């Protein structure tokens, strides 16, 4: 019966909302600080951010001179 | 008051409770917190390689964990495994159904998967004894198209579908372990957390949901987008989620603060986001749009710091390699490009 399935669907919705409401939340200031810290700590390893020297870029053909 | 009416009131009260709880921890904004950080300088990347070979639109690509090989799926009915450095095709796998929408590389490098309008996820073994790549399993149970798939290991894979659910599969037995239901619209994309304990899904109900892989529960739901979410990814530390939507914006949601921290938008951008990937440190977000471009965002300052222009049609997929050395874009123009 549609009314029964609507009811059980609504019961599930309420149970789900209770679960989501119970999440422990930290302050935005702490969350933002940690995201920032992660970015800054790993910036040096981030090739797309800091660039790759030609010699160590696996996707670039090395231009080398052969000593004949 | 009937039970239905009672439940409706309870639901509304809980929604208000969640809104209030989120507001209660909102002691600042990411914008304010990052005020002291300088915007990243202009990011300029060049196409280093073009992977040619597909004969029709490319719908998906995924890097292998070795940062060298990658797999792409095209509606020409092929999955191609590429060596991105030599541009050689390592495998060209013909598919039973050419209507493919997603592909994935297993972390081990042994398997690849794909699926689409056939509603199935097909698993292929790349390391078969006689060297031939064959279908190992066909995972069938979804009643809608397969929009995305991601391996947890060689024995488990998660799929998202147009039937509004996601499924965790046991690859060995070909059966469903867990079904994740809750979205009210087609699930379009999924991403697995770096520690493999959670995954996130983005859907056409404009929300993103965080799921516990083991207990099957939806832990958190993030709203705010004004249209379908097409792309989703984890911030590299696993603590935040980035979404891309048809509403022309990307958003960053923090999992522990349980709320949106920032929106990446510009009045000059009016077309949908199709794909996204964060750089290794999370400082850059590369997002592909319907207007054939990729915009590069400073994730902390929400400013556009660069663009990748080079495709002649929609950028449908984007991925940053595990070692962060390169970004790969796939397009409806049938080419993949490697940039850094």
Domain map (residue ranges) of chain B: 48-339
pLDDT band at B310 (very low <50, low <70, confident <90, very high): confident
More confident call, B262 vs A5: B262
Percent of chain B with pLDDT over 90: 96
The whole-angstrom distance between B314's CA and the closest CA on chain A is: 22
Asked if the C-beta of B42 comes within 8 angstroms of chain A's C-beta atoms, the answer is no
pLDDT tens digits for range B195-252: 999 999 999 999 999 999 999 999 999 999 999 999 999 999 999 999 999 999 999 9
pLDDT band at A4 (very low <50, low <70, confident <90, very high): confident
Residue A55 clears pLDDT 90, i.e. is over it? no
Q: What is the pLDDT of residue B226?
A: 98
Residue B259 clears pLDDT 80, i.e. is over it? yes
| Residue range B53-69: mean pLDDT, rounded | 98
Residue A1 clears pLDDT 60, i.e. is over it? no
Q: Are B34 and B40 in contact (CB under 8 A)?
A: no
Full-model pTM: 0.95
| Residue range A12-26: mean pLDDT, rounded | 97
For A19, the closest chain B residue by CA position comes to B219
Q: What is the pLDDT of residue B129?
A: 86
CB atoms A45 and B259 under 8 Å:
no
> And the tokens for A41?
């700590």
Q: What is the pLDDT of residue B180?
A: 98
Task: Find out if CATH 1.10.569.10 is the number for domain B48-339.
Answer: no
CB atoms B325 and A52 under 8 Å:
yes
For B86, the closest chain A residue by CA position comes to A59
Residue B145 CA: distances (Å) to CA of B94, B99, B165, B206 = 19, 10, 11, 18
**Please, what is the end-to-end C-alpha distance for chain B in angstroms?**
63
Its sign, for the CA torsion B326, B330, B336, B339, is negative
Residue B80 clears pLDDT 90, i.e. is over it? yes
Give this complex's ipTM: 0.94
Q: Are B74 and B100 in contact (CB under 8 A)?
A: yes
Q: What is the pLDDT of residue A64?
A: 62
Considering only the beta carbons, identify the residue of A20, A38, A45 that sits closest to B237. A38
Q: What is the pLDDT of residue B14?
A: 98
Beta strands in B64-217 (DSSP E): 69-74, 78-83, 89-94, 100-105, 111-116, 120-125, 134-140, 146-151, 156-161, 165-170, 175-181, 187-192, 198-203, 208-212
Asked if the C-beta of B130 comes within 8 angstroms of chain A's C-beta atoms, the answer is no
- The mean predicted confidence, pLDDT, of chain B is 97
Q: Phi and psi at residue B4, in whole multiples of 5°?
A: -60, -45
Q: What is the pLDDT of residue A54?
A: 83
Q: Phi and psi at residue B94, in whole multiples of 5°?
A: -75, 135
Q: What is the pLDDT of residue A2?
A: 64
Q: What is the pLDDT of residue A61?
A: 77
Q: Which residue has the tokens 């398997």?
A: B111
SS3 content of chain B, % helix, strand, coil (to 5): 10, 50, 45
Q: What is the pLDDT of residue B122?
A: 98
Q: What is the pLDDT of residue A68?
A: 61
| Residue range B52-73: mean pLDDT, rounded | 98
Domains observed in chain A: 1-45 (4.10.260.10)
For B305, the closest chain A residue by CA position comes to A49
Q: What is the pLDDT of residue A63?
A: 63
Considering only the beta carbons, identify the residue of B218, B261, B326 that sits closest to A16. B218
């Amino acid at each position: 019966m549609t009314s029964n399935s609507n009811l059980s669907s609504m019961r599930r919705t309420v149970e789900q909302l209770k679960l989501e409401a119970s999440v422990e939340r930290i302050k935005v200031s702490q969350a933002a600080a940690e995201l920032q810290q992660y970015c800054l700590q790993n910036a040096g390893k981030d090739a797309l951010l800091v660039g790759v020297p030609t010699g160590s870029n696996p996707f670039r053909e090395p231009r080398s001179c052969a000593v004949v | 008051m009937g039970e239905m009416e009672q439940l409706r009131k309870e639901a509304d009260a809980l929604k208000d409770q969640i809104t209030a709880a989120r507001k209660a921890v909102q002691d600042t904004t990411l914008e304010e917190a990052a005020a002291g950080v300088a915007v990243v300088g202009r990011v300029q990347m060049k196409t280093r390689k073009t992977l040619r070979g597909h004969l029709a639109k490319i719908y998906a690509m995924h890097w292998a964990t070795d940062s060298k090989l990658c797999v792409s799926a095209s509606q020409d009915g092929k999955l191609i495994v590429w060596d991105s450095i030599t541009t050689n095709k390592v495998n060209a796998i013909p598919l039973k159904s050419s209507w493919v929408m997603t592909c994935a590389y297993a972390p081990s490098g042994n398997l690849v998967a794909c699926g689409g309008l056939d509603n199935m996820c097909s698993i292929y073994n790349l390391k078969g004894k006689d060297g031939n790549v064959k279908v190992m399993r066909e995972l069938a149970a979804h009643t809608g198209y397969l929009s995305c798939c991601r391996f947890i290991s060689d024995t488990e894979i998660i799929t998202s579908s147009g039937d509004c659910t996601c499924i965790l599969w046991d690859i060995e037995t070909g059966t469903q372990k867990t079904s994740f239901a809750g979205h009210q619209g087609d699930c379009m994309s999924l991403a697995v957390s770096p520690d493999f304990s959670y995954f996130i899904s983005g859907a056409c109900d404009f929300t993103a949901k965080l799921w516990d892989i083991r207990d099957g529960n939806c832990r958190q739901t993030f709203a705010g987008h004004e249209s379908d979410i097409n792309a989703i990814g984890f911030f590299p530390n696993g603590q935040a989620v980035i979404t891309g939507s048809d509403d022309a914006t990307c958003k960053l949601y923090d999992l522990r603060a349980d709320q949106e921290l920032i929106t990446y938008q510009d009045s000059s951008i009016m077309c949908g986001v199709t794909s996204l990937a964060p750089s290794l440190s999370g400082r850059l977000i590369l997002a592909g749009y319907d207007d054939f471009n990729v915009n590069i965002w400073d994730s902390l300052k929400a400013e556009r710091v660069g663009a990748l222009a080079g495709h002649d049609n929609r950028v449908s997929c984007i991925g940053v390699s595990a070692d962060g050395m390169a970004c790969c874009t796939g397009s409806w123009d049938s080419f993949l490009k490697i940039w850094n």
